[in-house]
Structure 1
Amino acid sequence: MPAENRTEIEPFEKMERRTAAAYVQAQLQKRIESGAFRPEERLPSEAELASSFGVSRPVVREALMSLQALGYTESQTGRGTFVVSDRISGALIFGRYTPAQIQEVRCALEVPVVQLAAVKRTEQDIGVLASLLGRIAETSDPDRRNQLDMDFHVAIANASGNPLFVMLIEEMRGILEDYTKELTKAPHRRGEARTEHAEIYQAIVRRDPAAAGQAMARHLEAGEAVFGGGASAPDGSPA
């Protein structure tokens, strides 16, 4: 029987910047993984969490939906949200690779690739990237959106002018499509990803390799945070 009686929890850190739902999720996830919230324990109510974080209840609701999608919690009608595991669901291992391993490879590969693309891109490359961003924004089909998301990253590699980079990213395509599909289960990620893609695109348009690399790093770090890559303050270091 889930344990509903619990001691008073210590105050949460107030949300400052960064997407509110992502930050709330990261903080709760950190508490669950550390054992502050134990399996079978009920989390504070939406109202209590909203007050603790200084955010609205819809923001808390998005964060709780993300935790449930990742296998940390489950919602019980009329009773609240209960912790069911202190780690990400075992299903979130893509082939033989964990999210952390995928993140390491993507950072090592895609950050320098986008920097090179910002230097070598052509007007044709800019047109392809702009078209893909428009198609991503227009589609409501998650599977199609994930395919277009990968097309965007492949197009960046193509803009680098080095076919080996294209081959390497294409080789990872199957793994990355599964990875991004799981990311879309976090409700806040679709809007965040749209903004992050736009920042990457604008840096490439401006031929600014430093900004392009920083924008790509932020994009990859935001994805890692969904899988428990950390819960730093919203204006702090990688999440």
Structure 2
Amino acid sequence: MPAENRTEIEPFEKMERRTAAAYVQAQLQKRIESGAFRPEERLPSEAELASSFGVSRPVVREALMSLQALGYTESQTGRGTFVVSDRISGALIFGRYTPAQIQEVRCALEVPVVQLAAVKRTEQDIGVLASLLGRIAETSDPDRRNQLDMDFHVAIANASGNPLFVMLIEEMRGILEDYTKELTKAPHRRGEARTEHAEIYQAIVRRDPAAAGQAMARHLEAGEAVFGGGASALSRVAAPDGSPA
């Protein structure tokens, strides 16, 4: 028989700069990966988790849906949510590349690219980026949304004025579209990504490379959190003068 949920829940870490659902998901995911919640063990109930985190039950429910989408848990009607794996689903390996490897490359490439775009962008570039953000918000087709998401990142590379950056990101397009598709299975990521894209766009509009780099790093870090990433993308961001941000 699966182990029953514990009557006491250890204190969770202080909330970071992310949505409540993302925070709850990240904390539970960390506990599962560390072995605090073991395979076949039932998680605390929605009510218990809501009380422990100080959030509403719909927030907890959204976090649990994300964990299930990533292959950590499964919901059993009338019984609760059970841990089924202490690691991310094997299906989330993109070709030969892990989510962590993809994130490392994206951080090394896309943060300096967006900083350069904030310096070199033209009014035409701003128009293209604004149009893409509008089209992303309007579409309800997940596949089309992922394509437009990738178009947004390519447009940032184009705004940098360096065609080699465009080529490098285009070369990764297939992998990144698959990666983004998996990311958006976590319900909270859809709304978060729109906000993060808007922050990146506004920094480019203001010609603020430091803010653009920080906004892109937060965007990438949010993906790391969904996939159980370790080191913060923000800690790897360099300021425009080359010093750590």
- Deviation string for 1:5-50 (max 9, x for gaps)? 6463323345465210000001000100111100000000000000
Distance 1:93 1:59 in 2: 28
* Conservation of the 8 A alpha-carbon contact between 1:30 and 1:231: no
- Deviation string for 1:97-118 (max 9, x for gaps)? 0000000000000000001101
Distance 1:110 1:68 in 2: 29
Distance 1:89 1:57 in 2: 26
Alignment RMSD: 3.8
Structure 1 residue 229, shift from structure 2 partner: 1.3
Q: Does the C-alpha gap of structure 1 residues 64 and 13 become closer, same or farther in structure 2, counting only changes over 3 Å?
A: same
- Deviation string for 1:51-99 (max 9, x for gaps)? 0000000000010000000000000001000000000000000000000
Query: Which secondary structure state, in structure 2, belongs to the residue aligned with residue 188 of structure 1?
Result: helix
Moved over 4 A (4+): 230-239
Percent identity over the alignment is 100
Q: Does the C-alpha gap of structure 1 residues 234 and 162 become closer, same or farther in structure 2, counting only changes over 3 Å?
A: closer
Of 193-202 and 228-237, more deviation after overlay is shown by 228-237
TM-score, with structure 2 as normaliser? 0.92
Distance 2:7 2:47 in 1: 17
Distance 2:124 2:193 in 1: 23
Q: Does the C-alpha gap of structure 1 residues 238 and 187 become closer, same or farther in structure 2, counting only changes over 3 Å?
A: farther
* Conservation of the 8 A alpha-carbon contact between 2:22 and 2:63: yes
* Conservation of the 8 A alpha-carbon contact between 1:26 and 1:231: no
Structure 1 residue 216, shift from structure 2 partner: 0.4
Query: Which secondary structure state, in structure 2, belongs to the residue aligned with residue 213 of structure 1?
Result: helix
**Alignment: residue pair count:** 239
- Deviation string for 1:205-227 (max 9, x for gaps)? 01111110110000000111000
Distance 2:53 2:240 in 1: 12
Query: Which secondary structure state, in structure 1, belongs to the residue aligned with residue 244 of structure 2?
Result: coil
Of 187-196 and 228-237, more deviation after overlay is shown by 228-237
TM-score, with structure 1 as normaliser? 0.94
Gaps of 5+ in 1: none
* Conservation of the 8 A alpha-carbon contact between 2:210 and 2:240: no
